[in-house]
Chains A and B, each alone.
Chain A
Amino acid sequence: MIELNPDALSIAAALDAERHAKGPRGPLHGIPVLIKDNIDTADRMMTTAGSLALLGSIAARDAVVAQRLRAAGAVLLGKTNLSEWANYRSSHSTSGWSGRGGLTRNPYALDRNACGSSSGSGAAVSANLCALAIGTETDGSIVCPSSTNGVVGIKPTLGLIPATGIIPIAHSQDTAGPMARTVADAAILLGALTGADYTKSLDPDGLRGARIGVARDKFFGFSEETDRVVEAAVAEMKRHGAEIIDPADIPTAGKFDDSESEVLSYEFKNDLNLYLGALGPKAPVHSLADVIAFNDSHREQEMPYFGQDIMIKAQAKGPLTSKDYLDALEKDHRLSRTEGIDAVMGKFRLDALVAPTAGPAWCTDLVNGDHAPGGSSTPAAVAGYPNINVTAGYAWGLPVGISFFGAANSEALLIKLAYSFEQATRHRRPPQFLPRASLTP
Chain B
Amino acid sequence: MDLTRRSLIGSVALAAGALAALPAFELEEATVADLQKRMTGGALTAHALTERYLEPPSINAGRRSTG
Contacts and interface: CB of A to CB of B under 8 A. Distances in A.
A75 interface: yes
B57 to A, nearest CB: 9
A270 B31 CA distance: 40
Given A9-B51, A101-B10, A127-B5, A16 B45 contact: yes
A434 B66 CA distance: 6
Nearest to B45: A16
A435 interface: yes
B24 interface: no
**How big is chain B's contact interface, by range?**
35 or more
Contacts, number: 126
Nearest to B65: A432
Interface string A344-360: 00000000000000000
A110 B4 contact: yes
A4 B29 contact: no
Interface in A122-147: 123, 127-132
A19 B46 contact: yes
A107 interface: yes
B46 A75 contact: yes
Contact of B53 (A107, A123, A130, A188): A130
Interface string A177-194: 000111011001100000
Interface in A392-440: 430, 432-436
A6 interface: yes
A30 B54 contact: no
Given A12-B51, A127-B8, A181-B31, 11 more contacts: A2-B10, A3-B12, A9-B51, A19-B46, A32-B53, A77-B53, A81-B10, A102-B11, A107-B8, A123-B8, A185-B32
21 contacts: A6-B15, A8-B15, A8-B54, A9-B15, A12-B47, A16-B45, A16-B46, A29-B46, A30-B49, A31-B35, A32-B49, A75-B46, A77-B50, A105-B7, A128-B28, A131-B35, A131-B53, A184-B31, A184-B33, A433-B4, A434-B67
Interface of A: 1-4, 6, 8-9, 11-13, 15-16, 19, 24, 27-32, 75, 77, 81, 101-105, 107, 110, 123, 127-132, 180-182, 184-185, 188-189, 430, 432-436
Nearest 7 Cβ contacts at the A-B interface? A30-B46, A434-B67, A433-B4, A12-B46, A12-B50, A12-B47, A432-B65
